[in-house]
Amino acid sequence: MQHLRSLLFTTYMMLSACLYGIFMTLCFWLPYRAHFAIARSWARVLLRLLEGLCGLGYVIEGLENLPAGNHIVMCNHSSAWETIAPFVIFPPQVWVLKRELLWIPFVGWGLKLLNPIAINRGEGHRAVNQVIEQGKERLAGGLWVVIFPEGTRVTAGETRRYGLSGALLATATGKLVVPMAHDAGRFWPRRGFLKKRGTIHVIIGKPIITAGKKPRDLNEEIRAAIETACRRIEAIRPV
């Protein structure tokens, strides 16, 4: 039965993403924040359906840690869930993502209107400079920037080297870094079809001050904060 529920959810997710993408494209003349409101409504409905249909909900610890203003969110990446939830959790935002996502028919059209920082990950230093330059512009415009420093989804419980672009952007702007950790990959694994019943735990950590720090030292501090929170989540998981 859970496989059938997962199939129904996945079908809705894919179809609705296309429909919302088409709708946003038809409303291309609207300002960014209107486009973001449309995307947020899609994400909110999707998360409610995920809980109602598949029995997979979530709880958040640390919402009080969100600082005033707009800053940088850095989050571990182990599922598709964390590409949906930030729309609901955080204020208006842009993401650093691979440019190929913008080439997806319908869905990519909508994504483009959300003004992401779309990079070619194979371009190395040029992609890093793009994150810094465009990140400064988005932050100056009052938006948050969401970054997955691992660069791609990894298996839950594993980790990989963090890219330096987020730390470079943070030190260049003096913006705070808000670390976010979760265990979504345990329930909705990368490249996985089945959505298991349960509760995804999210921890939003205390903002990390970036001014005056070296990017590599800051990157290690961010990584330690996220991985420590992930271990805390594992420790509270029911056996």
Question: Going residue by residue through the chain (239 aa), what tens digit of pLDDT does each one get?
Answer: 898 999 999 999 999 999 999 999 999 999 999 999 999 999 999 999 999 999 999 999 999 999 999 999 999 999 999 999 999 999 999 999 999 999 999 999 999 999 999 998 777 789 999 999 999 999 999 999 999 998 888 887 777 889 999 999 999 999 999 999 999 999 999 888 899 999 999 999 999 999 889 999 999 999 999 999 999 998 887 65
Give the integer Cα–Cα distance in Å for 17 and 46.
10
Tell me the residue type at 150.
E
The values of phi and psi at residue 39, to 5°, are -65, -40
**What is residue 238's predicted lDDT score, i.e. its pLDDT?**
64
| 188: phi then psi, degrees, rounded to nearest 5 | -130, 80
User: Does residue 151 sit in helix, strand or coil?
Assistant: coil
Domains and CATH numbers, the chain: 2-236 (3.40.1130)
Cα separations in angstroms, 216 against 173, 195, 221:
15, 36, 9
Specify the pLDDT at position 45.
97
